[in-house]
Structure 1
Amino acid sequence: MNVQNEQLNTDWLKAIRENLGDSVSIKNVGIVGGGSINDARKVETSHGTFFAKINEEKEYPGMFEAEARGLDFLLEHSDFQIPKPIGTGVSDEIQWILMEYIDHASKKPDFWEKFGVKLAKMHRSTHEKFGFESDNYIGNLPQYNSYKTTWAEFFAENRIAPQLKMAKDQGYASDQMVKLLEKVISRSDKYFPVEPPAAIHGDLWTGNFATNKMGEATIFDPSAYFGHREMDIAMSKLFGGFDAKFYDAYNEEYPLEKGWEERLQIADLYPLLAHLNIFGGTYAYQIMTLLRKHV
């Protein structure tokens, strides 16, 4: 990416000054690896260290503004340490988000128990409807969050139907996959227990949490909204990496309804379809296996 560092630095300094009300200078900007969608930078200043993500302005419009709203959502509804957004903007056709930098350390012995309890408490934060104030992203795909009264309606219309349409348009969905997913849409009221909307992270896999300097969990890169809490639980299990102590502690704090482990397979359809639409047909077999078993 052709980045105009001088203009970025100027705009980052302006954001820090506006947000923190202090004079500041940049000492160093270093490249941070690991991101598959955006480039990342560690911005060291006289006022402390910050974390930035950048991408071309034309790619994924509004992504960083949506991320900032998601981080604010997590700050409002959870006890996790969340990187506070400092600012977003566009500099010479490069869009960016700047946020607090969180130092990392080793996990405390009770890391997983505290993680589970904090997530359970976050999920108790509720709203009158399912959805969010604006649309955002799941990975690099648009995520639709128009408010719905029931989870069944939200899951069908805002989660499965858009991903199915995208898979059909790209030629990734076989006729049988289409037929089975249409059944999921028509029967969406059969799959999940009726619960109040929960403040959820929306993309809670191992790449989106870390250990802060206190040895506890910090979460970031949200695809946040008020949804069914089993969506977060399903995502945490889909690619592994969460200790059994996490689920035990969660269930002690806010027990999941009986049969939750089986139901997670239906919740998995959304992230799996998103992965199919991002990465291609390699996920089709996994989706079809799930559908044949549960639909």
Structure 2
Amino acid sequence: MKIVVFGTGGVGGYFGARLAQSGCDVTFVARGRHYAAIKAHGLRIESPLGNFALEAPRIVEDISTVQQADLVVVAVKLWDTDEAARSLAPLVSRGAAVVSFQNGVQKDETLGKHLPRESIIGGVCYIASVISSPGVITHSGTMQKLVFGEYDGSRSARVQAFHAACEKAGITAEIADDIERLIWEKYVFLVGLSGATATIRRPIGAIRTHARTRAFLFDVMHEVVAVGRAKGVRLPADFAGNRLAFCDTLPEGMTSSMHHDLENGNRLELPWLSGGVASMGEALNVPTPRNRTIADILELSADGRVSG
């Protein structure tokens, strides 16, 4: 497969590098200092699964310079999704499929405003990784999993081909029969992890071992489940308990990308995470007091600087 990784951050950089290292045809799209560092010195991955470097990866600043692709992996920040989708239209018109491993549950709806619905594959990822410095992706822990699938549940040739590429690269990967439900399952965990770590400003280990912060984490996730069920997603009523047990299996030092962004003064994906839950809950008349509080607490830092 000809794969384009659109957004070479913690997610796109890590998984794209694994695919490229295994021999896949991968083109990276990056910008700014990160692009310049990769262009000059290559892309370095630091991981408990093994450090490695791509000395001269194929990388561009503008996706319009890419003429052909079988699959585009979208891994830009959520606020860039509209612009990214518009720029992908020429590649999609020439046959490219698109799979987003971004955060949230509204990403594919946004892509679908600009791209044919049949071009979009649903996807979720599980990894803790960040750009630790320009040209360097640091992976925490050993979890590195991609789950993807067609929205109609079919096992198409394109999802099977991508699954084979992931397996060759040593990436844990699954083809999903009900990708919408799995996207929401990830969202429950993601909103809990991001909201709790960013507001409490501690990693998951400390949060899950204290009774009150553990209860807070559970309540945040329970609200997401309630909103999803109100939207018709097939989530079990007790799914927040399932995700809390999953949090107990994580490395104690694990945190979230939103916590990382907060500490580094970067823009936050808050409107699509706890803020998104609060907005959807309000529209559906589902109470979301914990997520509304998280959104309110972090609002002054949401654009990457302290306002006021």
TM-score normalized by the length of structure 1: 0.30
- Structure ranking higher in helix proportion: 2
Is the radius of gyration larger for structure 1 or structure 2?
A: 1
TM-score normalized by the length of structure 2: 0.29
Q: With CA pairs under 8 Å and 6+ residues apart, which has the higher RCO, 1 or 2?
A: 1
